[in-house]
């Protein structure tokens, strides 16, 4: 690239006014780029704040439906459900995960009844239902892969039958994308999409989320035997390639901001719709610093979301979705 030398080239000319900056802007952030993760709990007309995530709530099914209507009116195209399961329903066999009347499935139906146009994304993993707090079955301290995949297939089918548009396997078991895709095809759910958590790292940024779904106290050990080593990048590309070959429609990197290099490499290597999850720890740091006046919370929030787009994301799962949508719409 050849540039004229200074003073013929003055980069500040393009920054001299808001209009010039807008014309030269390389990356845009829109409401349609946002997916809103929400937490659903038992009860009626219930809404309780998650202590480690200020401004984020566990909502009963009826209040989830109301929130979905509000989100849709803001232009947010998709909502992602995570259940806060009663501890009495957590078992070794995780059977609540594919119960047609579990929280996730009831919330899916309620959202579709209230606002059919809202895309509903669901989470496929056993940790909200597992007495051991893991994403898979545990036997003698080991996480069982193949047996877990069989359960995940049942969970995914129950979600598809409830009306889910997008299923997000977040468990990181080997072979689950192919097994779920085959089951969806065989059972008539050909239009249900798989957004695979293809590169999900064994991260310290998930703590507040585990509080939100009630998995923190149940978790025994860590998830390093199935989630990715934070030191690895080439492995992420191999995992994405595998999941695409097994039938994933879209892929995701999780967490978000600490792994924007992975987002960029995935997008450059495969050119497929690529998403990232701005996870609970990322949210809590930005929100907490903003509430304490240590940073301009709104400015940092929007800057962080723009960073995802600049790295190559097609969309972002973020707890900031309604707040960011209001700012983008000027409302």
Residues marked active site are found at 200, 254
Tokens of 67: 């929130």
Residue 287 makes CB contacts below 8 A (sequence gap 6+) with 53, 54, 55, 297
What are residue 244's phi and psi, to 5 degrees? Answer: -65, -40
Element (H, E) at 196: strand 193-200
CB under 8 Å to 78, separation ≥6 — which residues?
35, 36, 118, 119, 120, 121, 165, 166, 315
Spatial separation of the C-alpha atoms in residues 90 and 219, rounded to whole Å: 12
Cα radius of gyration rounded to whole Å, the chain = 20
Residue identified by tokens 């929280």 is 103
Two structure tokens written together for 100: 């047609």
User: For strand 47-49 and strand 57-60, is the pairing parallel, antiparallel, or unpaired?
Assistant: antiparallel
287-292 long-range contacts, CB within 8 A, separation 24+: 287/53, 287/54, 287/55, 288/54, 291/54
Question: How many Cβ atoms from other residues are within 10 Å of residue 290's Cβ?
Answer: 18
Angle at 252 between CA 268 and CA 272, to 5 degrees: 40
């Amino acid at each position: 690239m050849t540039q004229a030398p200074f003073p013929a080239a003055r980069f500040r000319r393009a920054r001299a006014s808001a209009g010039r900056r807008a014309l030269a802007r390389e990356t845009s952030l829109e409401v349609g780029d946002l997916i809103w993760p929400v937490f659903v709990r038992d009860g009626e007309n219930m809404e309780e704040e998650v202590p480690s995530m200020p401004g984020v709530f566990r909502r009963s099914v009826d209040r989830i439906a109301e929130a979905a209507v509000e989100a849709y009116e803001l232009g947010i195209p998709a909502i992602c459900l995570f259940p806060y399961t009663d501890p009495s329903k957590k078992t070794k066999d995780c059977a609540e995960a594919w119960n047609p009347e579990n929280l996730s499935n009831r919330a899916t139906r309620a959202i579709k009844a209230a606002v059919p146009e809202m895309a509903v994304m669901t989470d496929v993993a056993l940790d909200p239902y597992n007495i051991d707090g893991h994403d898979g079955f545990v036997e003698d301290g080991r996480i069982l892969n193949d047996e877990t995949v069989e359960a995940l297939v049942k969970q995914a089918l129950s979600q598809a039958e409830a009306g889910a548009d997008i299923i997000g396997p977040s468990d990181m078991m080997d072979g689950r994308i192919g097994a779920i895709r085959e089951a969806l095809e065989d059972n008539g759910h050909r239009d249900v999409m798989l957004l695979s958590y293809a590169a999900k790292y064994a991260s310290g940024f998930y703590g507040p989320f585990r509080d939100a779904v009630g998995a923190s106290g149940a978790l025994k050990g860590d998830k390093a035997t199935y989630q990715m080593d934070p030191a690895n990048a080439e492995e992420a590309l191999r995992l994405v390639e595998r999941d695409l070959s097994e039938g994933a429609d879209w892929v995701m990197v999780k967490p978000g901001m600490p792994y924007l290099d992975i987002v960029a490499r995935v997008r450059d290597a495969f050119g497929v719709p690529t998403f990232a999850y701005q996870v609970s720890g990322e949210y809590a740091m930005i929100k907490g610093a903003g509430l304490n006046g240590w940073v301009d919370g709104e400015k940092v929030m929007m800057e962080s979301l723009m960073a995802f787009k600049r790295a190559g994301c097609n969309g972002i799962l973020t707890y900031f979705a309604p707040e960011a949508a209001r700012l983008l719409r000027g409302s």
